[in-house]
Structure formats: C-alpha cells, structure tokens
Structure 1
Amino acid sequence: MSTSVIKHIKPLGFPWETQDPFLFCAYHRDEYPKGNASMGVDFEQLKGRNTGSDFTRRDGWRMYHGANIPGFPYHPHRGFETITINKEGVVDHSDSLGGAGRFMAGDVQWMTAGRGIQHSEMFPLINTEKRNPLEIFQIWLNLPKASKMVEPHYKMLWNEDIPVIKHTDQSGRLTSIQVIAGKINNVSALEPTPDSWASDSKNAIGVYTVSMEANANWILPKTSDQANRSIFFYKGDHIKIETQTILHNNIIELKAHENITIQNGSQDAYFLILEGKPIEEPVVQHGPFVMNTQEEIIQAMKDYGETHFGGWPWPDTEVVHPRNKGRFALHSNGIEEIK
C-alpha cells in the first residue's frame, strides 16, 4: 500500500479538470493588442476569426463570445457559483439585477448565481498606446441542492483587502500566497457570499494563488481529511513533492490531511490551489445551468425562457464601462463601492 501524499498527476487541459465541490476552472491568458476608440479590437484584426465563438488563440489572444470587445456577453447561470480571479488586465461586470463593476489585477469577484442571474464579463481594451494583456481564472463552485435556489448575490474581494502570506524559507527564497478562500495557518480569507458552500468553515474550502521564487521551499499545511485537494501548476519549470519531480502544465491531486512540502525548481513557479469537502450529490449540467436532475434542468430552461432571470437592463449585450471609470462595484441595492 502506497503512503505517498500524491494521489494523481494529470495534464492540464481546457478547461481545467477539478474535483467535487468544484466543477471546473477556466484559465485565460491573452496578449490583447492596443484598444480602439470603443475599447475593442479593430476590424482588420478580426478578419478570419469566428467572432461570437472565437476560442482559437491566434496572435496570442481570443475574442471568446465577443463580437467587437473580447469576453462573454450576457448569459444566464443557475445552481452554482463563480469565483473570478484577476491577475492582470480589466474585467467589466454587468448583471440582470442592475449590478455592475470593474475589477483589475489582484481583485476577485465572487458570485452566487442561486436561482438565476444573467451577467456579462467583458475585457475592455482600455489602453490605446500599449497592449492589453489579460490573465484570469474563473472557477465554478457547485452548490448543494438546499442552496441551488437561493437569491443571487455578488461581492468584490478587493486586492488591497485580500490577505497575502509572505513566507521566506531558510535560504531567503520567497513564496507568496493570496488567501482567497479558507485558512492557512492563522491567516483567514475574507468572507464569501452569504449562501456560498464556502461560507461554512466545516466545508474546508480553500482557494489560493501561489508564486514561488526559484529554488524556494514551502509547506502547504494539511486540512480536513474529508476534503479534495488539487494543485494546478500552470507556469514555471518543475517542482518536487516527496521524491517526485513534476513538470509545469500538470494537475497534482493530493491527500488533504497531510502537510505538503513543495520544492521549486530553477524558475519562478505559479499555482492555483483548490481544496474542499465534496458535496457528493448528483450533478447534471446543461451549459450554464447546474442542477441535481434532468427535470430540474428542464425547469431551469423553462424559467429562463419565461423570466430571463430579471431581464437585461443594459442597452448593449457587450457592456463596458467608461474608459476612465476605474475600479468599482455597483450593487443591486444601489450601493456603489469605488476603489
């Protein structure tokens, strides 16, 4: 019987494969060009692209479902949550409840779709004199049956408020950990949305982004023995866990109730870590709806057809905010945060 802390190693794909209670993670890295007057892409640069469904990383970037501005025009969700982590670039949010916002590098948006919401996530190219690189993660976190029809809610976790652990090893090498959800040692994350699966600490949800200097060493502390744990090693050269050397572009599934010693290789390394207690309920997904049964999916489609989850209060499908707006969050109750 093996005593290794490593359970599985598998290559990253698109989207990234996750473990219960997570549904998947989409990692986007795009080297967008200079923006035009509309914060979009010039017509000449769109030639030959399947605009509206462009997932080919030609010239280092994709339009996704955007026709003029990259991103995801309005679309519905029901039955789960999205956690959008911004590492570089600009994301503009708008939703069917009248909420809106702009968030940038280091910021995180947490949205519980619950019974239903429409939203758009666009990537405005605000720089006209230089390129507009974008790097984000969007994580889909499932909800249990008891919470699938809660009221939708979104909140911002702003960069300057999110706890960051700076660990220096015995050789003076630095590891930085952004604690988005959960707890590492004595450092706890900000509160998620009220009805999130992460709102109960017994569910042991952890979401962390980690950077390690070359040759750094760091110990990821153990968590609940009921949790699943995955490290997504998306940038770097190699790391070593126990005696196993692991190259970048791999997912490492680990025992959650063990301390994990990570030895980095000769280049800076970057990870996303997801861990949490599984929900262990049936999952039936149809596009943007995630429920427990096929009948519930059919009902979600019917409800959306009849109500459009509140409609769309914005004049455009590709909603972007004024170029000079800066970071903000407008909530459905009319309260606006300005950063």
Structure 2
Amino acid sequence: MNKNMTIPNFSSSMQYKQTPANPIRLIFEILLCILLIIPAVLWATIKLFLKSPRKNIRGQVVLVTGAARGLGRELCTRFHELGAKVVCVDVDGRGCAETAKEINRNGGTAMSYEVDVTNRRQIAAMHTAVRTELGPVDILVNNAGLVSAHMFVNPESEQLIEDLVNVNLLGQIWMNREILPSMLERNQGQIVAISSMSSMSGLSGISTYTATKWATNGMMESLYNELKTLKSTVVSTTVCPYFIKTNPEISEHLELRFPEMPTSFVGKIVMNGILENRRIFSVPNHFMFPVAFVRILPDNLQLLINKIFYVNIIGFQKDKELMKKYQR
C-alpha cells in the first residue's frame, strides 16, 4: 500500500445534522399547532353531525366525462335535476348521446361529445365548442376510467397497463389542464376527481389500476395546495368510492365481504360531497378513516384484518395460470 495515500473518513462524511432553518421560530410554530389541534378536531367532529350548506348550481355548466353509462350517467341526471346545463363526454359516442338525449327529453339542457380523454386535440376542440354553445365550464367531473385486473408479471398486460395509465391518470391531467385556466381567470369553479378506495390500500391483482388512483389522489392534493398558493377560490374535490355495481363483467371477477354499491346510492353521496365543496371523501362516508387507521398497524394485523374484510380479485385465465406457476 502507498504510505502517502489518504484514506477517506467515511464515518465523518456519512454524518448529517438535521438542523432546521429558524429553529426558535420552528418551536413556536409547533407549539401553536399543538394549541390549535384540539379545537380544530372538536370543530371537525361537530361538523360531522351538522348539515353542511349546499351550493346552488342552477344554470351552471357541468362537464362529466365517462357519461355514457354507470356513475357518469347517474351524475349527469342528478346535475340536470338541479338545473345545471350538462356536458356529456365519453369515448362511447352512442351511449353519451343517449345520456344527453334523455336529459333534453326531460326538459333539461345537455350536449354530448364523443371524446377520447387521452387525446389532447379532441379535448381542446370539445372545450372550444362547449364555451361557444353553453359558456365556460363551472364544474368538471373527471369520471372516465378503465377498471381491469392483471397480475403484475402477466406478460400479456402491456397494452392494458398503458391504457389504464393513459385513461385513468393522464386523461384527468389533460382535462384539468384544458379546463382549469378558464376557472382561474374567473376565480371560480370546481375540479372533481373520481378516484377509488383502492387509492388507500393496495389490493393484489390490480397494481396498475391502484397506481393510477394513488397518483390521482397525489395530483389532486398538489392541485389543492397550488390553488391555495394562488389564493384562488377554485375548489378541488376527490371522491374515493368502494366498488360500484356498474358492469357484470367486472363483478364476476370480484369476491367481496361487502357487496358492490348501486349507482344510485353512490350518486347521491357523490353529489352531496360536490355540492358541499368537500376536499376528499369516501363512499360510503365512513370508509376512509378505518382504512387509513389499518395502514398504521403492524403488518401481521393488517393481513389479519384484510382476511376478515376480504376483497379478492379473481384474475383472467392467464393470471390464474401464473398463480399456479408461482404460488408456494
């Protein structure tokens, strides 16, 4: 060994002092937060038992994606019943047109647009047409989404993975980026994301779907904070529903402790949350807290609770073959 060679002192270089900026001020700010926690929690608890005021949306323009069927059609109908002008958007042009036709038949105002939410040009063209025909969008409900399962290592799932990410996540991003500037200019409006309870707990067999919903929640939380930074009154709302009974082909791949929810039940709760300008909530309302609580428990307890309140995804044929191949 070269006697003149210097041996680096790794122990000293690995040290890291976590000294915060303005430490004295930090202490006072923490003490202030502690003082505010108790009254804030008490007030939040009281508000759970109080009926929150609902805003009037009569005459407002509400755009709903995924409007051809299921929850999208349910929400379109409910917005119409409250006097809103409804913009129905879906890649399924025929189903979307049927939703709008039903609303118009019942004396409402609705327009339908066949749009692929992954296509930015189609989104921009649709938005231009909506502003010309009905005016600026007051409420955007990002409901369009794909629901499908696949084992993580399924070699046949590449296209499905791309479609899930493009529709469930990028579709919402492109819609928000198109509509939000108009809301910011007017300093009014509401962006709604239909997420999922799977965004609170990763289930076996739906890794990509779950990833898109976790990402949706993160996007909406960042958007909420960005709006606060801008001191904007534009509202962001994230909805996390449990499984909804909308498609028999999906239902046959589910084994659930609690059954799927009917769209009418979900629609009522979602509408209440939107009209009350809630930031984030689950459907049913009481699901979010226990799911979040379970996540802080030790792993063995989490596994036990998940077995009791099971949600099993029954895969497609290739997934079943892979399960037999890899399962120990």
TM-score, length basis structure 1: 0.27
The structure richer in strand per residue is 1
Q: Which has the higher contact order (CA 8 A, sep 6+)?
A: 1
Structure showing greater Rg: 2
Structure with the higher helix share, 1 or 2: 2
